[in-house]
Structure 1
Amino acid sequence: MTKRALPAHVYDKKGVLYFQRRGWPTARIKAEAGTPEFALEYAALLNGARLAPEATARTFSALTADYIRSQRYRKLAPRTAKDYDKVLIWVKDKIGHLPVERMQRKDVIRARDANSDKARFASYIVQVLRILFEHAQDIGWVETGKNPAKGVGLIKADTVPREPWPADKIDAFRERADGHTLLVFELCLGTGQRIGDVLKMRWSDIEGDGINVTQGKTQARLWVPFTPRLRAVLSATPKRGVTICAHGRGKPLSYRAAAQRIMAVRKEIGAENYDIHGLRYAAAAEMAAAGCSDELIAAVTGHTTVAMVRKYAGPARQKVRAIEAQERRK
């Protein structure tokens, strides 16, 4: 690449890029010119990165390693830690060599926008950087209150909002599904739990006329009573293994296998727009339509915030109230 194609103070020496500025120490640029990572690294150098030897030790790689050793990280639910790990790997790979204290708000936005084609991941970058800077404050690496990721907006995925399963599709699924597929379906709908937690349910978790659940995402511990339909399906299910959802000689049913079975029936009944997680929405919607309060719904679903309960139950509750309101007009 010619010098004219490179930004100010950047030079190509036998295929290796260097940042050289009068009165500043020379620094090698690891990223390839023209990439979002190059722009981020270049901005950090212009902001004064590597000027002070004591600052270079406090890099994002070092901060990430310290965070992973902290109680803050160890207390994360396995599902959350798995999501964070993807970003932590990105941090070490892309900006690990950069000093923490030099990052600015514009750099966070640049990193987010460089990954905007993957909306969920881009938003996680902002969220994890926000947490890393909170940790940096805790250990004295940056001044209290310095958090360039705080307040940076997330990217909303351009997807169709998830909808709860309508009653006619639920009835159609029950008519078409075989025993094992119907079991997964009724466990998701009857307990209102995530598919990952449903597949981990064991026969030994059943207590009385309900089941004990420890949610993988939140670690919330619940006891959820059975619905009449779920009770009937469980009674007709042979115990083939430790987990309730099992196949063959008792081997636990995997998420992939469960998803494939559910999708096969969804295609038969024209319910491709309603996924497995939509059954959790449907459970909340059924309770809302029955007049349950946010607290009662959360007692089953395990939601920890009122906002999430209302997100799941809001449309069904609005419909019930609208019917009541129109009836009163008569």
Structure 2
Amino acid sequence: MTKGRDLPSYIHRRKRDGVLLFRKRYGGRIVEFRLETQFPEGAEIPFALHQERERLLNGPAPVRGGKDIAAVIRAYRATPKYRDLKRRTRDDYEKHLPYFEDKLGHLAPRQVERHHVIKWRDAWADAKSAHFANYRTRVLSIVMEHAKDIGLLTKAEENPAKGLKSLKYEKKDREPWPDTKVAAFRKTYPYGTRERTLFELCLGTGQRIGDVLKMQWGHIEGDEIRVTQDKTGKPLYLPMTPHLSASLAATERRGLFILTKDMSKTKRPGQWEYRGASDAMRAARDAIGAQAYDLHALRYTAAVELLLAGCDDDQIAAVTGQSARMVQHYTRHVRQRVRAREAQSRRG
């Protein structure tokens, strides 16, 4: 094994296969392991190698592969409890797991202490938001709990992220789309566009975006569309609104799913994924000045439209599949205004 003049200190290239290794003495013991950053001999040293080296030099002693947090995450992804998560939940976790692999992957679980987690949580809140920091901390708690499950934290060693108090923040209530924004969207995106089909499916059925994206042409039976809610498992048969019927009639059938991927970018008409749909709708909202109203707010809008049409809570729940408590939550602001107007009209 040779160090090579072109390599930074503590970095070595193994003669037999050219693999780059980090090698350093920690407390009288030499630790050596394969680096994540690899490049061929003679090539320019990538900046990522310097970053990885600095991280290793300034952090605790690295842990041999198989007993570090990166190994915990690999093991967790292979478990039935991870595979059985709802797809949206897995996608949410995967927004954070690669971060932990990159930043904490070289550490042993027992090297992470509670004061570290608190410091990280506060830094995440400063960089992003309190909501983001709270969620990332919960995902870290799941990783550390799995470390206990596979024996890399003993029963006596606490999960340093478990039970950590969430940061408080002012939660902004969603508001239903105003009639003016609904009209602006319909004017800007005609029938036949994916944006319009997605919009009318969300508004016309009052379902969550994940359930809407899973809808198939085969789920349409006459003037109804059949839905099985992913979150509750509840089956629903929903008569279509005139706008939804017209939108579906103008939508080209490209495959099994009603909403498919952009055919200019792929030859396979698969299901339109959440990320692509969310990005497209964000651009559409920007175009009509509806940035304050997201896709999920259309579920609120559907409940409010039903309320203003004179439907009672049971009828609204029959469409949205919500509990009575959630129906009241989604319609509470409009409900107050309607009742206040009725009350005021009775005053002399």
Question: How many equivalent pairs are there?
Answer: 302
Change (3 A) 1:183 1:65: closer
Q: Give the counterpart letter for 1:281 in structure 2.
A: Y
Q: Which of 92, 95, 102 pairs up with 1:86?
A: 95
Asked if structure 2 preserves the Cα contact closer than 8 Å seen for 1:197 and 1:215, the reply is yes
Q: Which of 135, 143, 147 pairs up with 1:124?
A: 135
Matched position secondary structure for 1:281: helix
Distance 2:95 2:159 in 1: 21
Structure having the larger proportion of residues in helix:
1
Distance 2:332 2:25 in 1: 55
Structure 2 counterpart of 1:241: 254
Matched position secondary structure for 2:227: strand
Deviation at 1:203, TM superposition (A): 1.6
Deviation at 1:292, TM superposition (A): 4.2
Q: Which of 189, 210, 233 pairs up with 1:220?
A: 233
Pairwise mapping of residues 107-186 of structure 1 onto structure 2 (< 5 A)? 107-116=116-125, 117-119=127-129, 122-140=133-151, 141-143=153-155, 146-154=158-166, 162-181=174-193, 182-186=196-200
Distance 1:251 1:13 in 2: 51
Deviation at 1:230, TM superposition (A): 4.0
2:216 matches 1:202: yes
Asked if structure 2 preserves the Cα contact closer than 8 Å seen for 1:133 and 1:146, the reply is no
Q: Give the counterpart letter for 2:143 in structure 1.
A: L
Pairwise mapping of residues 20-99 of structure 1 onto structure 2 (< 5 A)? 41-42=59-60, 58-99=67-108
Q: Give the counterpart letter for 1:106 in structure 2.
A: H
Change (3 A) 1:222 1:206: same
TM-score by length of 2: 0.65
Identity %: 37
Asked if structure 2 preserves the Cα contact closer than 8 Å seen for 1:59 and 1:96, the reply is yes
Q: Give the counterpart letter for 2:287 in structure 1.
A: K
Distance 2:290 2:207 in 1: 20
Distance 1:291 1:38 in 2: 65
Matched position secondary structure for 2:107: coil
Asked if structure 2 preserves the Cα contact closer than 8 Å seen for 1:17 and 1:28, the reply is yes
Q: Which of 281, 287, 290 pairs up with 1:267?
A: 287
Distance 1:298 1:281 in 2: 12
Distance 1:194 1:253 in 2: 16
Change (3 A) 1:33 1:241: closer
Pairwise mapping of residues 250-329 of structure 1 onto structure 2 (< 5 A)? 251=269, 254=272, 256=276, 260=280, 263-264=283-284, 267-268=287-288, 270-289=289-308, 290=310, 292-293=312-313, 297=316, 300-302=319-321, 312-327=330-345
Change (3 A) 1:17 1:285: farther
2:201 matches 1:187: yes
Asked if structure 1 preserves the Cα contact closer than 8 Å seen for 2:202 and 2:298, the reply is yes
TM-score by length of 1: 0.68
Q: Which moved more, 1:83-92 or 1:149-158?
A: 149-158
Matched position secondary structure for 2:225: strand
Change (3 A) 1:102 1:253: closer
Change (3 A) 1:320 1:18: farther
5+ residue gaps, structure 2: 1-7, 12-21, 36-50
Asked if structure 2 preserves the Cα contact closer than 8 Å seen for 1:176 and 1:265, the reply is no
Matched position secondary structure for 1:150: coil
Asked if structure 2 preserves the Cα contact closer than 8 Å seen for 1:164 and 1:278, the reply is yes
Asked if structure 1 preserves the Cα contact closer than 8 Å seen for 2:23 and 2:30, the reply is no
Change (3 A) 1:110 1:204: same
Per-residue CA shift, 1:46-83, capped at 9, x if unaligned? xxx97xx9xx9643223222212222111101121122
Distance 2:10 2:286 in 1: 58
5+ residue gaps, structure 1: 1-11
Asked if structure 1 preserves the Cα contact closer than 8 Å seen for 2:138 and 2:161, the reply is yes
Asked if structure 2 preserves the Cα contact closer than 8 Å seen for 1:191 and 1:300, the reply is yes
Deviation at 1:204, TM superposition (A): 0.5
Higher relative contact order (CA 8 A, sep 6+): 1
Deviation at 1:245, TM superposition (A): 4.1
